[in-house]
A and B are shown apart, each in its own frame.
Chain A
Amino acid sequence: MRDQFQEIYDTLTKNKLRTTLTGLSVSWGIFILIVLLGAGNGLKNGVMQNFSSRAVNSINMWSGTTSMPHNGLKSGRQLQFTENELDAINKQVEESRLITARYNTTQTISYGAEYGSYGLRGVMPNYVHIEKLIIPPGKGRFLNELDMKEKNKVIVLDQKIAEVLFKEEQPLGKQVKVGQVMFKVVGINTKKEQYGGSNAYIPFSTAQAIYNPRRKFWQITFTVDGLTTEAENDRFNESLRSLMGQRLNFNPEDEQALYINNAQSEYVETIKIFGGITIFVTIIGILTLIAGIVGVSNIMLVSVKERTREIGIRKAIGATPISILKTIILESIFITTIFGYIGMLMGIGLTELINFFMVQAANGKPATDEPQMSVFTNPTVDIGYAIFATVILIIAGVIAGYLPARKAVRVQPIEAMRQE
């Protein structure tokens, strides 16, 4: 066995040009494969990131005023939610995930001589995930369950409010006055409101206690999972309407009793885009892999063809066909593995390098900016895919070496030796 490797090593090192050319084509094939896969992944990741806030379907629900009589009750009743409706959605609506009640009011918020009138939202801790608020490191935290339980007077401010009230000062831990009540600032949200305007957030329980003694409210927001088509969403809206109809005692047909805003169309669209991009990247990957297989196969084929004469000579001096086949296949494996590995390392190196510089560039920007809107993010390839692709090319190289070798070995040595 050792002798065989010595023989293979000799053959490869003494045919430097052939070995190098074959090897380079293998390296290049795998290198390009990984770079293209990385580019595809970068595109996919970039788009995914840009659309990620739309990748979760959330449902907004407002109670209204009945327009139809129901169960002996006349129309024109004003409906409101209680915390029981939250429980019902949590427990009875299978698709619901994160849920928050919302109590909205407008209050004057002041710090020292600075003040302004802002939207004040009593929300639950899940709100930060549902609305995807951004509280960067060093900017404090969002409201938590303890705040809810203890009805803490803590507040999270939008960046803009903090800038107006505090100027250069550090807002975290300071007390602001909301109406007549003092609140401690615990966090700063840097995500900008989609339609402008700035809000401050306090625990829902605190809001109920201070601003809403009747403890009723009008808006519930929750995320849903598993609804991927419009039909599913429509059915879901129907069942939600009838559930609320039972609880609040209104006719489910009554459009004005309950408003449901299901962001489904946007969501379904996003899911389609994700699907399309995944298919696109997969096709790029497969086509590139095929191109690589063809390239590597071609080189192996030519390389064996070139050696028909040598094969004939070896046969004439007593080499068995199997020993020749074994030698050629081992050579193929040797070349494709070593150079394939080099190509893989270079490909991964390049994609990681690009990623490194992109991350650097992103970090260089002021942290207060919105998240980077780039169509190209993290253009790297999963190491598993890289190894898979390399192994596929190695197998292709071996088969491409084996087929012509088998043919060459079958030729009568005298024929083989006539080939120049």
Chain B
Amino acid sequence: MIHIRQLHKSYHTEALSLHVLKGLNLDIEAGEYVSVTGASGSGKSTLLNILGILDSYDQGEYHLNGSLIRNLSEREAAVYRNEMIGFVFQSFNLINFKNALENVALPLYYKKVSRKKRNIIAMEHLDKMGLKDWAKHLPNELSGGQKQRVAIARAMISNPKVILADEPTGALDSTTTLEVMDVLTNLNREGITTIIVTHEQSVSDATNRIIHLKDGMIEYETRKNNGVHATIQSVNF
């Protein structure tokens, strides 16, 4: 599903340039349940932004579902994002003047699905998240966990191949964290490739594969075996 070869990414400011990803290699197959961990500044959010075509990269190759993602026009990027990827953010990023149902339905608006039809589909997804009764509520009337479940419903509505979650539990307490992780785990069981960036142990432990980044490289990887993570690689190949 995702194949990355020798990925480099630097950020340039006036004062300094920061080499964030230093020749990263990564393969994630369809249906995997992956978390990316690492200290802050290790490049995990940058990696996720590149995976989500929210940011560009300098060197290397990134294939998503067989297509090379490189130098895309904004329009092409928008199509890929809409069709392939569902995003879940730490700060939810719901549009605050739209109610839960409208937020969930929004990706379908850009897919030119009729209002009536997209509202029906959005309601199904909200129902799946147990939020049917909250459909008409604005984001600021919802709890953090509810907001994140709305965001997940929105990510799911366009039937993406990949879910990318950036610290999805970062703004939640431990109870709601478990709740949101259950939702993500269930989605993965339905066959959706799920990639979570997190620094929380409890979150990464829930995934089947942990990729640990350090200084823009993969330091080690663990895979879950009988419910326990075991290190399988200690260096970049």
Q: Which residues of A contact B (CB under 8 A)?
A: 3, 6-7, 10-11, 14-15, 309-310, 312-323, 409-410, 412-414, 417
Given contacts A10-B98, A417-B89, 11 further A-B contacts (CB under 8 A): A3-B114, A3-B115, A313-B94, A315-B78, A316-B81, A317-B107, A318-B110, A320-B75, A322-B75, A410-B74, A414-B54
Contact yes or no, A318 B111, CB < 8 A? yes
Against A, the Cβ 8 Å flags (1 = close, 0 = not) of B18-55 are 00000000000000000000000000000001001011
Which single residue of chain B is at the shortest CB-CB distance from A323? B110
Contact yes or no, A7 B109, CB < 8 A? yes
| B97: Cβ under 8 A from any A Cβ | yes
| B221: Cβ under 8 A from any A Cβ | no
Contact yes or no, B74 A318, CB < 8 A? no
What 5 A-B pairs are tightest by C-beta distance, nearest first? Answer: A318-B82, A14-B97, A320-B78, A317-B107, A321-B74
Contact yes or no, B106 A317, CB < 8 A? yes
User: What is the minimal beta-carbon distance from B167 to any residue of chain A, in angstroms?
Assistant: 13
**Which chain B residues border A319 with CB–CB below 8 Å?**
78, 110
Which of B49, B75, B95, B115 sits near A313, CB closer than 8 Å? B95
| B142: Cβ under 8 A from any A Cβ | no
Contact yes or no, A317 B97, CB < 8 A? no
**Which chain A residues border B52 with CB–CB below 8 Å?**
316
CB within 8 Å of A: which B88-116 residues: 89, 91, 93-95, 97-98, 102, 106-107, 109-112, 114-115
Which single residue of chain B is at the shortest CB-CB distance from A418? B91
| B79: Cβ under 8 A from any A Cβ | yes
| A7-B109, A14-B97, A314-B106 as given contacts; A320 in contact with B154, CB under 8 Å | no
Count chain B residues whose beta carbon lies closer than 8 angstroms to a beta carbon of A. 31
CA distance A71 to B110 in the complex (A): 99
CA distance A402 to B18 in the complex (A): 33
Which single residue of chain A is at the shortest CB-CB distance from B154? A317
| B57: Cβ under 8 A from any A Cβ | no
Contact yes or no, A414 B106, CB < 8 A? no
Which single residue of chain B is at the shortest CB-CB distance from A13? B97
Contact yes or no, A318 B107, CB < 8 A? yes
Which of A3, A314, A316, A321 sits near B54, CB closer than 8 Å? A316
Contact yes or no, A310 B95, CB < 8 A? yes
Contact yes or no, B115 A6, CB < 8 A? yes
Q: What is the total of A-B residue contacts with beta carbons within 8 Å?
A: 70
| A3-B114, A318-B111, A318-B158 as given contacts; A414 in contact with B78, CB under 8 Å | no
Contact yes or no, B97 A318, CB < 8 A? no
User: What is the minimal beta-carbon distance from B223 to any residue of chain A, in angstroms?
Assistant: 29
Task: Select the residue from B52, B56, B75, B93 with max chain A CB neighbours within 10 A.
Answer: B93
Which single residue of chain B is at the shortest CB-CB distance from A2? B115
Which single residue of chain A is at the shortest CB-CB distance from B92? A313
Which single residue of chain A is at the shortest CB-CB distance from B157? A317
Which single residue of chain B is at the shortest CB-CB distance from A18? B97
Task: Select the residue from B98, B154, B158 with max chain A CB neighbours within 10 A.
Answer: B98
Contact yes or no, B97 A15, CB < 8 A? yes
Which single residue of chain B is at the shortest CB-CB distance from A16? B97
CA distance A310 to B106 in the complex (A): 12
User: What is the minimal beta-carbon distance from B124 to any residue of chain A, in angstroms?
Assistant: 18
| A3-B109, A315-B78, A317-B82 as given contacts; A14 in contact with B98, CB under 8 Å | yes
CB within 8 Å of A: which B176-210 residues: none
**Which chain B residues border A409 with CB–CB below 8 Å?**
74
Which single residue of chain A is at the shortest CB-CB distance from B84? A318
Contact yes or no, B79 A318, CB < 8 A? yes
Which single residue of chain A is at the shortest CB-CB distance from B82? A318
Please name 29 pairs of A and B residues whose Cβ atoms are closer than 8 Å in the assembled complex, sorted by A. A3-B112, A7-B109, A11-B97, A14-B98, A15-B97, A312-B93, A313-B94, A313-B95, A314-B106, A316-B52, A316-B81, A317-B81, A317-B106, A317-B110, A317-B158, A318-B78, A318-B79, A318-B81, A318-B82, A318-B83, A318-B111, A319-B78, A319-B110, A320-B78, A320-B110, A321-B78, A322-B75, A409-B74, A417-B93
Which of B54, B75, B106 sits near A413, CB closer than 8 Å? B54
Which single residue of chain B is at the shortest CB-CB distance from A409? B74
CA distance A165 to B55 in the complex (A): 100
| B62: Cβ under 8 A from any A Cβ | no
